[in-house]
């Protein structure tokens, strides 16, 4: 309980399980792969995370020009991507939540097909189970389901 792992520039971590109350912080230049988030949190602060699975109660937070690739959000899991950060090849399964805004860059698939947020435009987003999309001034959204 309440354990922490810090991955700094030049460092890497693979095959990590983050349980409830645990967290992993990936700083700029750090790289992690094959992480399962079971109720804890992974903070990608300028670093890069590849092949992450978020289960119920888990959260992946990406900011400060962080990036994630191939994150799978399962029922009850949450992916939060800040406006200066990027998520690609995201798989949003039923009940998974995405929190982001239209200044972020996010793409992947959900139960309705392919979705994207890029260049101030969002399309085919699925906002459920606490998910949200903030539409900034001058930006636009189409074909989005809020449920």
- How confident is the model at residue 106, as a pLDDT? 99
For the chain, give every domain's residue range: 4-146
Contact (Cβ atoms closer than 8 angstroms) between residue 116 and residue 138: no
Place of tokens 């929190």: 99
pTM exceeds cut of 0.95:
yes
- How confident is the model at residue 128, as a pLDDT? 97
CA distance 54 to 48: 16
DSSP-assigned beta bridge partners for residue 17: 36
pLDDT digits (tens, 9 = 90+) for 29-45: 999 999 999 999 999 99
Average pLDDT over residues 1-12: 95
Average pLDDT over residues 83-101: 98
Whole-number mean pLDDT of the chain?
98
């Amino acid at each position: 309980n309440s354990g922490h792992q810090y991955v700094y520039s030049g460092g890497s971590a693979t095959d990590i399980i983050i349980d409830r109350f645990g967290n992993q912080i990936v700083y700029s230049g750090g790289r992690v792969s094959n992480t399962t988030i079971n109720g804890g949190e992974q903070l990608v602060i300028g670093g890069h995370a590849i092949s992450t699975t978020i289960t119920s109660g888990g959260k992946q937070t990406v900011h400060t020009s962080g990036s994630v690739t191939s994150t799978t959000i399962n029922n009850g899991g949450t992916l939060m991507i800040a406006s200066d950060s990027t998520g690609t090849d995201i798989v949003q399964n039923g009940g998974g939540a995405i929190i982001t805004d239209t200044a972020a860059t996010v793409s992947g698939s959900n139960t309705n097909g392919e979705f994207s947020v890029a260049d101030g435009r969002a399309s085919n987003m699925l906002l459920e189970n606490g998910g949200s999309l903030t539409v900034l001034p001058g930006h636009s959204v189409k074909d989005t389901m809020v449920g």
